[in-house]
Amino acid sequence: MKFFANRGWLRAATAVVLLAAAVSISARATTPSFPAQGLREVTDETGRVVKIPQPVRRIVSLAPSITETIYALGLQDRLVGDTDYCDYPADATKKHKVGGAINPNMEEVAALKPDVVLVVKSLNRLETVRALERIGIAVYSTDPHTLQDVVGSLKKLSSVLGADQAGNTLNEDLERRLGTVQKKLNGAATKRVLFVVWTEPLMSVGRKTFIADVLEHAGATSVVDSRQDWPQYSLEEAVRLQPEYLVFASSHSETAHNDAEALALKPGWSSLEAIKNRKIVVISEAINRPGPRIVDAVEELARQLHPEVFVEKK
């Protein structure tokens, strides 16, 4: 999923957006106006210069990780809309839905009159950003590639939204927890793993993704060495690589673990030592989201791969 992908729908979306803009302008002409907001010029993580109304009162999130960040910063009352896939925490499901991250309903977004729309470069489309900019809506993008990028991105976003103190507190907590994990893993043997994004076709993660970096912070290294973010591999290639563990992510761990175990019955998979030895790790979907729960994923994965270093001393 690329931020610069698929421009085919732009012309149709532009017509809808312009109609929404005309309706919005007409509505503002007949309704009382709020006190004028100042503008703050910031540079987002893609290098775009964005002018954001201050203070930020109304936020639309177009990514689940962004929604989680807003809640972690205690700014959920300012969140006026999010996507169909924003499901954590549970309260996020009650927010006004504007469609999916890839194809949000632009008219719905415009109708919410956000001060800023928040996106993630690797998930949302450039066409979405441009369409919103055409009708005068500020769009700020994050673009993390490593675990430290994710943590740093949260702090930057807190500043953009006027929540510096909450951002500092969150940053300190996440850094402390990561430091604790690294201290426990000091001297532990690194596990060779295959992170399975999809089984048919077999898909994993590339070296330059934040997920690969999460694996390393959890005392593991990916057997996949690819510059692609989501490389596809043949099962024969996976057998040749012979990872010690298979790692899966799911929001329903029990079901996912059963599905992973079922792979042993499929042709070819039984040739993997990880399958023979039942070295299958299932963690929450938090590992897929570059938000505050990414540290939960590091802790969870480290505990499963290196249980011996997490044994409580009596």
Q: Retrieve residue 229's tokens.
A: 């973010």
Tell me the C-alpha distance between 26 and 128, whole Å: 23
pLDDT per position as a tens digit, 209-266: 999 999 999 999 999 999 999 999 888 999 999 999 999 998 655 555 566 667 777 7
Distant-in-sequence, close-in-space partners of 161: CB < 8 Å, separation ≥ 6:
56, 59, 70, 73, 75, 78, 116
- The pLDDT tens digits for 102-154 are 999 999 999 999 999 999 999 999 999 999 999 999 999 999 999 999 999 99
Instruction: State the Cα–Cα distance between residues 4 and 255, nearest whole angstrom.
Output: 34
Q: What is the mean pLDDT of the chain?
A: 87
Percentage of residues in the chain with pLDDT exceeding 90? 75
Question: Is residue 8's pLDDT more than 70?
Answer: no
Q: Are 43 and 141 in contact (CB under 8 A)?
A: no
Residue 10 has pLDDT above 60, yes or no: no
Q: Is the pLDDT of residue 9 over 50?
A: no
List pLDDT tens digits, range 26-75. 333 333 334 456 999 999 999 999 999 999 999 999 999 999 999 999 99
Residue 312 has pLDDT above 90, yes or no: no
